[in-house]
Structure 1
Amino acid sequence: MAFLPYRAVMQTKYQFMIGILVLTALFYLESQIQRLEVSLTKIERAIAQTQIENLNSAWKDHTSRHLVTDNDDESKKDDIVVIYNRVPKTASTSFVGVAYDLCSVNGFNVLHLNTTRNSHVMSLPDQTRFVQNVTNWNAKKPAFYHGHLAFLDFSRFGVTTKPLYINIIRKPLDRLVSYYYFVRYGDDFRPHLKRRRSGDSQNFDDCVAKDEQECLPEKLWLQVPFFCGHSQECWRPGSKWALEQAKHNLVEHFFLVGVTEQLEEFVAVLEASLPSMFHGSIERFQTGGKSHLRKTSNKLQPSEATIAKFQRSEIWQMENEFYEFTLEQFEHVKRRTMKVVDGKTVIVPQQFMYEKIRPR
């Protein structure tokens, strides 16, 4: 019977012991990592759970409406100007109602822009006047302007401090159908007000079947030009240049654009992003009867044949492309701003900090 040399036996024994120690260390490290992951999850939940409460309390005092620095200039804290160039029939009245409720509480001014004959574009002199008013009317700052006006690029007029544009858009055919019935039957906001097509009981499907003027695909062409601007090409139905310009302006010049179908989420993101003006807006929206302030009366859903007819048109395809582009952008912003914790949607806490600041 052969026996291993003593040195070989001891070497095997040491290797076995080292293996046991390594495995033990690995199991220990794994258990510690699991404990840390559990602790981190608990911390994230706790932070997320208290985020809204902290956000609410942090902005109760008007002196907290701006980032404080060592050289803070009191004259600049009220310079914020928001322009909501609201697209018709996109739940804009519901959202504006929240702004009117909050203006006194949060200390800002709401101004409605009313244009002659509800024109969505201005003459060049009026554009200049509007830019000067918004920029220099310090007595009405901070300000929230709203009106049915196409996008206006302030930088074209030599202005360095530009307003924050926001907007909401809607699925293009849904918006047109809502407008069609609105001008006939009005809404529950002002039910006794006579609209311009009052008395006309023809439904939308029949209007489309007859190819009447107000039901043509060209009537869908509104949301693209609202973001494109005042250029004549913006308002030419089916202009590919206008579509691309609208996308460019949305990304480059708009602070936030939501969709009607996610109006509550839009309000939540806006409150988290501009609490100096919109602190308390989600609570007002949920509990103050603002979630659907204006509902079109006697609105009928279009038939499958009507929907198919519109979807074959190039104009619907372009307007829908813009809607899908906007929705994708909003979903991206929303994912970075909010998350679901234990079934509740909460605001993501601040995820940056400053360090290694020199000199001390």
Structure 2
Amino acid sequence: MSIGYIKYYGERPINKLPTTSCCRSDSNTTSAKKEKLFLDKKSSDMNKFILPIKSDSKNKSGPNSMPIIKSTNGRRKFPRRKKKRFFYWEELKQTMHYLPLGSTFDTNTEERIIFNRVPKCGSRTVLDIFKYLANRNQYNMISSTIYGPLHLPENKKALIKELILAAEPPVLFQRHMHFLSFPNSSRVRYINIIRDPIDRFISEYYFIRFGDDRNPMNFSGTDQEKYQTINECVLKRRPECSGNRLQYIIPFFCGHNPQCSLLNSSIPLEMAKTNIQQSFVTLGLLDEIEDTFAVLEKALPRLFQGATAEIVRRQKQKKNKQFQTKSKVMPTEEVNKILLKEMYWEYQLYDYVKERLKNQKKTLGIKR
């Protein structure tokens, strides 16, 4: 004998209303139809649950039935829901308990990966893929909802370190921020992606003003400032087109040491190279995104298996166009020369990363 189901509304169990003329008059039949319509409407508005009843039918099923998995102890088991793997965090200590924490884990036995993403280096496209992979490969991903400051105060550094070491591994944490060191844990490692420095600068300049198809921006300045081209901005040496705005990428790898903010010096670059060599599993390039994902997949298969196939699929479907900055005006030859000179150290880092990625592909046997 199998198990069937009936709906239960309040105090009245309803299985099937009699509708034959032997049991009701015409007026009663009309009343029964109204009652049935009322109950059907009521069922969509109320929380309902299922009561098991005995039935002679061997295969009782329907839209309101739920499959039951029999257990040896006689209790009913229902199919497990897929475990949540993606979490937002507002960087508040009092909300950390909503995140997947596993403080009993040995911090040196499981992967804890930080993606300290550089703005306007394709990171939103990459994040979409990482979210997909978190569910596919079953790792935890924690995404900060705070976008600044990039250079963290001491209390914020301590809070983020506490979370990363307490999170249940394997875990991927992402935020816009400069490099943080974890000297007491060898399993906290980094990944990142950069792009040609001038291309990144142009993209950020116009994104702040016009956004893209997914994120239209409300520029806070005047109309004159909004529609000022990048050529005018550089030639007039506006604050957003000079100084540390042109040495923007290096601090993401140099870190929070005061020397990392030095301009026109090789010191920040050398410190950045040291951190990259010691802490970054992979540092890829946006203009070599497929190769970057191939290296990620080989270096960290537990997290990034299937990454290359997913980026290829998205490129074929042109899903990444929604993140392309609008209304970009390319710099003139004169402005381009100025930017190349001002971004000399940025290009030294870019060339270093390009060579390192090439060597990683060779070491991992990736032929593309």
So what's the TM-score if we normalise by structure 2?
0.66
Identity %: 28
User: Which residue in the other structure is 2:268 paired with?
Assistant: 242
1:212: Cα distance to partner?
A: 1.5
1:304: Cα distance to partner?
A: 0.6
Q: What per-residue deviation string (whole Å, max 9, x for no partner) do you get for residues 238-270 of structure 1? A: 232111101111111111101111112101111
Q: From the superposition, tell whether residues 197 and 323 of structure 1 become closer, same or farther in structure 2 (CA, over 3 Å).
A: farther
- Tell me if 1:125 matches 2:155: yes
Q: From the superposition, tell whether residues 338 and 194 of structure 1 become closer, same or farther in structure 2 (CA, over 3 Å).
A: farther
User: Which residue in the other structure is 1:149 paired with?
Assistant: 177
User: Which residue in the other structure is 1:301 paired with?
Assistant: 330
1:160: Cα distance to partner?
A: 2.8
1:188: Cα distance to partner?
A: 2.0
User: Which residue in the other structure is 1:358 paired with?
Assistant: none
Alignment size in residue pairs: 260
Instruction: Give distance in 2, aligned partners of 1:309 and 1:217.
Output: 12
Match of 1:259 among 257, 282, 285: 285
Residues 2-21 of structure 1 mapped to structure 2, 5 A cutoff: none
Match of 1:231 among 246, 257, 268: 257
User: Which residue in the other structure is 2:345 paired with?
Assistant: 318
1:292: Cα distance to partner?
A: 5.0
User: Which residue in the other structure is 1:100 paired with?
Assistant: 131
Match of 2:356 among 329, 343, 348: 329
Match of 1:203 among 229, 242, 264: 229
Question: Unaligned stretches of 5+ in structure 2?
Answer: 1-104
Question: Unaligned stretches of 5+ in structure 1?
Answer: 1-74, 346-360
Q: What per-residue deviation string (whole Å, max 9, x for no partner) do you get for residues 146-188 of structure 1? A: 1111111111xxx234312011111111111111000011012
Instruction: Give distance in 2, aligned partners of 1:131 and 1:239.
Output: 29
Match of 1:283 among 309, 313, 327: 309
User: Which residue in the other structure is 2:165 paired with?
Assistant: 135
Q: From the superposition, tell whether residues 82 and 197 of structure 1 become closer, same or farther in structure 2 (CA, over 3 Å).
A: farther
Contact 2:111 2:187 in 1 (8 A): no
Q: Which has the higher contact order (CA 8 A, sep 6+)?
A: 1
Residues 44-59 of structure 1 mapped to structure 2, 5 A cutoff: none
Instruction: Give distance in 2, aligned partners of 1:126 and 1:284.
Output: 34
So what's the TM-score if we normalise by structure 1?
0.67
1:118 partner SS = coil
1:295: Cα distance to partner?
A: 0.7
Q: What per-residue deviation string (whole Å, max 9, x for no partner) do you get for residues 262-298 of structure 1? A: 1121011111221111111112111135555511111
Contact 1:285 1:291 in 2 (8 A): no
Contact 1:258 1:330 in 2 (8 A): yes
- Tell me if 1:181 matches 2:210: no
Q: From the superposition, tell whether residues 265 and 291 of structure 1 become closer, same or farther in structure 2 (CA, over 3 Å).
A: farther
Moved over 4 A (4+): 75-78, 289-293
Q: Which structure is higher in helix share?
A: 1
Contact 2:213 2:324 in 1 (8 A): yes
- Tell me if 1:80 matches 2:103: no
CA-based RMSD of the aligned residues comes to: 2.4
Contact 2:294 2:366 in 1 (8 A): no
Q: Which structure is higher in strand share?
A: 2
Amino acid paired to 1:318 = W
